[in-house]
Every structure is written in C-alpha cells, then in structure tokens.
C-alpha cells in the first residue's frame, strides 16, 4: 500500500475511535500500533510520519 493510501486508512481508523480516545495522549500509542500494521515506504520513521499526520488533524480541532 502506498504512503498516501496508508495515511488515509489510518485516518479512517482514527475517526472510528470513540470520541473519548481521540486525545493527544492516545495518539502516540495509536501511531505505534499503526506503524506496525501499515508497512508503507517513507524517508523517515513510520511512527514519526504517522504522529505528524495525526498531530495536524488534532491541531485543526479534530479531537471531537
């Protein structure tokens, strides 16, 4: 799976989580799990790529 497809799938999974779990603290564990589950190619650490991606969505107010 390509990076863009993987990140979209990860975001879809994040959005399906219960609202109480969509926190910055939970994002770290979720990102680690997703980095192990989605083996896309990237120039850096998959965990960091996913955390950066989720952080952008958290900072836009998508915590709800």
pTM: 0.83
Q: What is the structure's pLDDT at 1? A: 85
Q: What is the structure's pLDDT at 59? A: 66
Q: What is the structure's pLDDT at 61? A: 58
Confidence of residue 63 (pLDDT cuts 50, 70, 90): very low
* Dist. CA 28–CA 50, nearest whole Å: 9
CA triple 17-25-1, angle to 5 deg:
55
Q: Is the pLDDT of residue 16 over 90?
A: yes
Residue, of 58 and 30, whose pLDDT is higher:
30
């Amino acid at each position: 799976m390509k990076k863009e497809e993987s990140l979209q799938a990860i975001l879809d999974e994040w959005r399906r989580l219960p609202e109480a779990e969509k926190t910055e603290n939970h994002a770290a564990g979720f990102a680690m799990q997703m980095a192990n589950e989605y083996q896309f190619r990237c120039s850096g650490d998959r965990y960091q790529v996913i955390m950066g991606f989720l952080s952008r969505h958290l900072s836009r107010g998508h915590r709800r």
